């Protein structure tokens, strides 16, 4: 088992990662009768995509003796109303000053584009990934 989740009422959940004990709490967004005081489940979906991209890239970068520390990522979620779902996720990755050739950048971008979360998303969900070197 990966996590244990308790619905706390008032459209909030508390998820505990069993291996580490780390807790993540969710709240429904304000546009769906929640308070918006914590990440919504769909926010976490978007964050999962972005963190998977950079983690997968960092694994490859480590093999290439490249350090991606201090990379900043902006994520924007676009929702549809009927049916209510995430329609598009925009991910913009801002790398620190790196001296990389075009080949290394291409290898890392291809790695990011093929992270496990990307491959797990429904094909109808549009993802835009921008790499700012």
- Give the dihedral of Cα atoms 12, 85, 52, 131; nearest 10 deg: -130
CA dihedral of 26, 79, 120, 48, whole degrees rounded to 10: -40
Tokens of 16: 């505990």
pLDDT by 10s per residue, the chain, length 133: 999 999 999 999 999 999 999 999 999 999 999 999 999 999 999 999 999 999 999 999 999 999 999 999 999 999 999 999 999 999 999 999 999 999 999 999 999 999 999 999 999 999 999 999 9
3-state secondary structure of 105: helix
Superfamily of domain 40-132: K homology (KH) domain (3.30.300.20)
CA-to-CA distance for 20 and 84, rounded, in angstroms?
33
The domain locations on the chain are 1-39, 40-132
């Amino acid at each position: 088992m990966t996590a244990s989740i308790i619905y706390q009422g008032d459209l909030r959940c508390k998820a505990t990662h069993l291996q580490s004990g780390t807790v993540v709490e969710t709240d429904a967004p304000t546009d769906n009768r929640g308070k918006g005081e914590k990440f919504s489940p769909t926010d976490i979906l978007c964050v999962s995509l972005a963190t998977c991209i950079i983690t997968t890239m960092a694994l490859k970068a480590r093999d290439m003796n490249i350090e991606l520390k201090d990379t900043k990522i902006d994520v924007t979620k676009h929702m549809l109303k009927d049916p209510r779902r995430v329609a598009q996720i925009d991910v913009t990755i801002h790398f620190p000053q790196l001296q990389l050739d075009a080949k290394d950048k291409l290898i890392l971008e291809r790695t990011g584009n093929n992270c496990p979360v990307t491959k797990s998303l429904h094909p109808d969900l549009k993802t835009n990934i921008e790499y700012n070197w």
